[in-house]
Amino acid sequence: MSSPPQRPQRTLGISLKIYFTPQETLRYYQSLQPILSLAQQHNIHIFLIPSVLTLPLLLQQTGALNSTTWSLSKRDRAPITLGAQDCSPYDSGAYTGAISPRELALMGCEMVELGHAERRKLFRETDETVARKAEAVLRNGMVPLVCIGEQIEGSVESAIEECTPQITSILALPGAKGKEIVFAYEPVWAIGQPRPASAEYVVGVTRGLREVCGEGVRIIYGGSAGLGTFEGMREGVDGLFLGRFGHDIECVKGVIEEMAR
């Protein structure tokens, strides 16, 4: 008797931005633990992006970082991936206030979020800036989580056209071929709104973007994503990237159950 086909892997990411104190971040992380086994059971990969100052605290919790020597510990892969919200394109040097990608990797960080709409708006980051940072992330053996999205609500075709150079600037990097890259499709006009973009719209855009990036690249949806978002989009996206709705543990559990169906 043949075994049933393996369920395709889904991805669920959560960004804490800078809402939580170190103590609140630790409590949140500990509250996640009981539902990680449910995610593993249904082949759902979870990643968490805390603030950079709380990242070492959580890396110690996973056993990735030895808190005495501040060196990497030998361990099996944790059931959750921890990432940073940004980094510098430079590994080291006279760059005051910058976050070194090399140091992130040495601490055990596995993923770096890049190009979020807030950084593009507030810090004037361009596709070129994001690509340089992505190159540094890849160079240091981490996974770039690249946020892409159109500014204004319009047609599916116009969204694909606007997002395409955001993707190709990353895939054209010398170190990108054969490496794991995740794109978080977040229509800028949908971020912070009461409801996400419509499922039909998102599926149309992401199917068009897959023709650009190929089937091997993961595309997840963000932009007011929460409970009830994934069901209508499951044919077009590999998972979700939660913002404020992900700060509620019960919402996260509900999303995992929805993705597991």
- Residue 178 CB contacts under 8 Å (≥ 6 apart), including other chains: none
Topology (CATH level 3) of domain 10-62+77-260? TIM Barrel (3.20.20)
Write phi, then psi, for 180 (nearest 5 degrees): -75, 125
pLDDT given for residue 66 in this prediction? 65
Query: CB of 179 within 8 A of CB of 209?
Result: no
Say if residue 7's pLDDT is above 80. Answer: no
**Domain boundary assignment for the chain:** 10-62+77-260
Confidence band for 2, pLDDT divided at 50, 70 and 90: very low
Question: What are the residue numbers of the active site?
Answer: 116, 186
Where do we find the tokens 């949806």? 221
Where do we find the tokens 């996400």? 196
Torsion of Cα atoms, 130 then 133 then 137 then 138, to 10°: 70
Q: Which helix (H) or strand (E) holds 158?
A: helix 156-171
Query: CB of 83 within 8 A of CB of 52?
Result: no
H runs (alpha helix) in 16-100:
22-41, 55-62
Pairing of strands 10-15, 44-49: parallel
Confidence band for 79, pLDDT divided at 50, 70 and 90: confident
Closest CA to 59 of 67, 44, 249: 67
Closest CA to 108 of 135, 54, 71, 139: 71
Percentage above 90 pLDDT, the chain: 87
Q: Is 226 exposed, middle or buried (0-12, 13-18, 19+ CB in 10 A)?
A: buried
Query: CB of 147 within 8 A of CB of 101?
Result: no
Q: What angle do CA 99, 102, 104 make, to 5 degrees?
A: 60
Q: What is the mean pLDDT of the chain?
A: 93
State pTM to two decimals: 0.93
pLDDT given for residue 63 in this prediction? 79
pLDDT in tens, 158-171: 999 999 999 999 99
Write phi, then psi, for 125 (nearest 5 degrees): -75, 140
